[in-house]
A and B are shown apart, each in its own frame.
Chain A
Amino acid sequence: MAPTKTIKNKHAANKSGIKGSKDAERSRNDGVLKSKGKPKSKTHTLVTANKGRPDIKELIARKQKKRKYSEKELAGLIPELNMVTPVGVSKPKGKKKGKVFVDDKESMATILAIVQAEKEGQIESKMIKARQMEEIREARRVEADKKEAERKARLEETKDSLRKKRKRSKQTGGGKGDDDDARDVKNISSAGTNAFKSKKKKSVSFAAE
């Protein structure tokens, strides 16, 4: 491993600086320095660092692997904020920035033609609708007038029939009958055709003691 090799360094091995010393011999023999204290701890920390390295890599890899959401997916996942955005202001997503001006004659004419056709259609349909409604109203009014006329005619008819009846009874004679007829006509004229209901007279009687 790398850290042990660094310790195996030439200068570190010849720590004592004396040829033939115990240290020098030892280093030559096994190639591994069995030092006490500081160097030991150094190696230990390095080992632990070695252990941690793949974790960082993994973390980085994991970070890189994180799924990236597209605009569409996000729009589905994240609830919309309660914002006040008027319809005219909202801009379509994914569209190129900047304005497209209309200044040439042709494009202006095409827009104008489209708008005018649309408007003409709208106005035409409005007019047709209004005309239809007017026709319906007219028809209803005619019907109501007709009903009114019918009712009046019926009333006139009943009046005529009553008059004829009265004349006939006059021709046959009888004073009492005359009175009755007069009363009938009065009743009908005051209460319409439901005159028979009002014939009964109410009376009050007291019990004898």
Chain B
Amino acid sequence: MRPLTETEQKTVFEKLANYCTDLKSLIAPLDDGDRYVFRLNHSRVYYVRLSVANLATSVSRDALLSLGTCLGKMTKTGKFRLHITALPILSEHARHKIWVKDNGAQPFLYGSNVVKAHVGRWSEDCPEHSGVVVYSMADIPLGFGVTARSTTEARRLDPTGIVCFRQSDCGEYLRDEDTLFAG
């Protein structure tokens, strides 16, 4: 387990900035004097309290399966891929949001894109190809994706037209159970 390098930290922040507005609150000091840091183990990036990270140094790399919140994975080409486990952090500071109706929640959780007919409401002034967090109508975060059309364009779209490309959904906790934390 090690801290991130400059370039790694930059790529992680760039990816997070697609979905979140306020990144400063992520690294802001907590009331008890502690703060959150980023750690890398087995090419997975963890968002963890500094005190916990310091404690985890007593566990060997191979024996350490996970700690804190797993944000995602650094690929071999140096890119960063967000995992569904990062959803609680993304949904807290989401830049753009889409709420899907109850009839659209299941198709989304099974891995399909969001079509216009399933959208209950969406945030205004959302440009195309920007990160968006998908919620159910009861404000429960279901996953995240990338907008296929801007809000104004999506209004003119037919009901079967895709509004949001799925990146990750809560169904992955079951579908990718074997590879989500290791491998």
- A residues engaging B (CB < 8 A)? 86-89, 99-103, 105, 107-109, 111-112, 114-116, 118-119, 123, 126-127, 130, 134
Contacts and interface: CB of A to CB of B under 8 A. Distances in A.
Contacts of B177: none
Contact of B14 (A88, A89, A115, A127): A115
A119 B18 contact: yes
A41 B77 CA distance: 72
Contacts of A116: 13, 17, 23-24
Nearest to A126: B127
Given A123-B127, A130-B128, A130-B152, A115 B13 contact: yes
Given A103-B37, A126-B127, A112 B3 contact: no
Nearest to A114: B10
9 contacts: A89-B76, A101-B3, A101-B4, A102-B5, A105-B29, A111-B6, A119-B14, A119-B17, A123-B127
Interface string B7-27: 001100110011000011001
Contacts, number: 67
Contacts of A88: 77-79
Nearest to B53: A103
A48 B2 CA distance: 68
Interface in B102-154: 125, 127-128, 130, 150, 152
Closest 5 CB pairs of A and B: A88-B78, A119-B17, A103-B3, A101-B3, A115-B13
Contacts of B24: 109, 112, 116
Interface in B1-60: 2-6, 9-10, 13-14, 17-18, 23-24, 27, 29, 35, 37
Interface of B: 2-6, 9-10, 13-14, 17-18, 23-24, 27, 29, 35, 37, 76-79, 125, 127-128, 130, 150, 152
Contacts of B76: 86, 89
Contact of A87 (B5, B23, B77): B77
Given A87-B77, A103-B37, A115 B17 contact: yes
Contacts of B6: 100, 102, 107, 111
A95 B30 CA distance: 37
Nearest to B2: A101
A89 B77 contact: yes
Given A102-B5, A111-B13, A134-B152, 7 more contacts: A99-B2, A99-B5, A101-B2, A108-B9, A116-B17, A116-B23, A130-B150
A6 B171 CA distance: 96
Contacts of B125: 127
A118 B23 CA distance: 13
Contacts of B78: 86-89
Nearest to B39: A103
A149 B79 CA distance: 55
Contacts of A112: 13, 23-24, 27
B53 to A, nearest CB: 9
A99 B37 CA distance: 17
A119 B4 CA distance: 21
Contacts of B9: 102, 108, 111
B104 to A, nearest CB: 25
A118 B10 CA distance: 11
Nearest to A128: B127
Nearest to B150: A130
